[in-house]
């Protein structure tokens, strides 16, 4: 089932205060089956524009309902950026880094990669942001949008380009070609290593960046919100050879939507219950025979989420602890992390879950802690 886009809502949000915008009956206010109010107040269903933590400023971040969301833009502390398109003749997709860039990508600019950059069967579009103070052999962060979102909406939060300028990493902003702007997280192709789907399009852009911009193939990270969080799970499951870590904000386990036309009510409402072994086997089947180091996984969820129910947090816990062969009993618990009422659960060094008491699907994006998880 396809979902309404919220371009009017995206443009209606202001830097501060509450802007009203009419949306579909299962738009900002709720999920697929929502039948309540069709006019929402920004900040009621999504985090307020001041609730996103950044290492440089209190910048706002985008959050979403699974099939619709809004984005708020913040004042950026980095140099002024413009949007351009760039084409390159390079077609290398190897994972080995080069000592210097082989393409001429403008610095501090939101730039679409329009050249061929590898297998991309679903026509995922990708933008790249290379900071002015690019680190030597820089890391890469893939910032993945929510349903009804876009690469530009993710970029316009100001969070990732500001952090890139401060820390020297490259950001890839992918965008799905699906009409509802929801990621393919359900097909066999996207769930399988090098088999196709949206996941391969994202990975191809990352491989292109590694090969053509001297990026560090051992320091590639994925993070996303809602549908982008689902894709983060997919990427870490199907491409453990590409990613070092991921952070999923309000998502579902890898393969939770598997085999559905595109939307799984069973998964979304927390009715898809599996054992840790069953969940772990799904991840292992994403790349059969993989014997390397698995990427570490962090996931965030609000206990009052009525779009992707909180049970999905518990199922993610089962899945990723099994992948790493550790217990579902936390090895460490931190109260009020990073906000009062939120609780961090550590399951050894490679799995972390953050539970936000009383918070809905619009859980705020905590960039400081996520960058710490990535080691950036």
Q: Quick one: how far is CA 181 from the chain centroid? A: 13
What does the buried/exposed string (b/e) look like for 246-268 if buried means 16 or more CB atoms within 10 Å of the residue's CB?
bbbbbbbbbbbbbeeebbbeebb
Q: Say if residue 313 is preceded by a cis peptide, omega within 30 of 0.
A: no
Q: What are phi and psi for residue 77, nearest 5 degrees?
A: -95, -10
Instruction: Tell me the angle at which helices 197-213 and 227-238 cross, rounded to the nearest 10 degrees.
Output: 70
Q: Quick one: how far is CA 167 from the chain centroid? A: 19
CB atoms within 10 A of CB 281: 16
Please confirm, yes or no, whether 65 is among the known catalytic residues.
no
Helix or strand (DSSP H, E) at 315: helix 311-323
Measured distance CA(32)–CA(30) in Å, rounded = 7
What does the buried/exposed string (b/e) look like for 47-76 if buried means 16 or more CB atoms within 10 Å of the residue's CB?
bbbebbbbbbeebbbbbbbbbbbbbbbbeb
The active-site residue, picked from 204, 226, 227, 367, is: 226
Active site residues: 226
């Amino acid at each position: 089932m396809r979902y309404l886009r919220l371009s009017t809502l995206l443009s209606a949000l202001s830097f501060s205060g509450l802007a009203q915008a009419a949306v579909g009956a299962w738009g900002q206010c709720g999920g697929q089956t929502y039948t309540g109010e069709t006019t929402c107040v920004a900040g009621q269903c999504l985090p307020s524009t001041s609730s996103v933590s950044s290492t440089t400023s209190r910048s706002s971040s985008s959050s979403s309902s699974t099939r619709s969301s809004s984005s708020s833009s913040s004042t950026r502390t980095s140099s002024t950026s413009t949007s351009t398109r760039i084409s390159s003749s390079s077609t290398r997709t190897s994972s080995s880094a080069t000592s210097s860039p082989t393409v001429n990508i403008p610095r501090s600019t939101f730039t679409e990669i329009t050249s061929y950059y590898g297998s991309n069967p679903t026509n995922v579009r990708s933008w790249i942001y290379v900071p002015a103070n690019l680190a030597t052999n820089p890391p890469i962060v893939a910032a993945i949008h929510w349903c009804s979102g876009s690469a530009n909406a993710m970029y316009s939060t100001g969070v990732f380009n500001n952090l890139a300028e401060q820390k020297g990493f490259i950001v890839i902003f992918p965008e799905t070609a699906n009409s509802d702007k929801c990621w393919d997280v359900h097909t066999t192709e996207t769930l399988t290593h090098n088999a196709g789907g949206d996941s391969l399009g994202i990975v191809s852009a990352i491989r292109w960046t590694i090969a053509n911009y001297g990026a560090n193939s051992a320091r590639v990270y994925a993070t996303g919100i809602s549908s982008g969080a689902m894709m983060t799970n997919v990427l870490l499951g199907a491409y453990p050879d590409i990613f070092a870590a991921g952070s999923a904000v309000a998502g579902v386990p890898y393969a939770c939507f598997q085999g559905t036309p595109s939307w799984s009510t069973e998964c979304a409402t927390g009715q898809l219950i599996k054992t840790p072994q069953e969940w772990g086997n799904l991840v292992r089947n994403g790349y059969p025979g993989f014997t390397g180091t698995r990427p570490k996984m962090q996931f965030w969820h609000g206990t009052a989420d009525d779009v992707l129910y909180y049970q999905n947090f518990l199922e993610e816990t089962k899945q990723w602890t099994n992948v790493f062969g550790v217990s579902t009993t936390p090895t460490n618990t931190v109260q009020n992390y990073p906000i009062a009422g939120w609780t961090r659960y550590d399951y050894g060094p490679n799995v972390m879950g953050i539970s936000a008491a009383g918070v809905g699907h619009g859980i705020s994006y905590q960039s400081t802690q996520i960058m710490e998880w990535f080691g950036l």
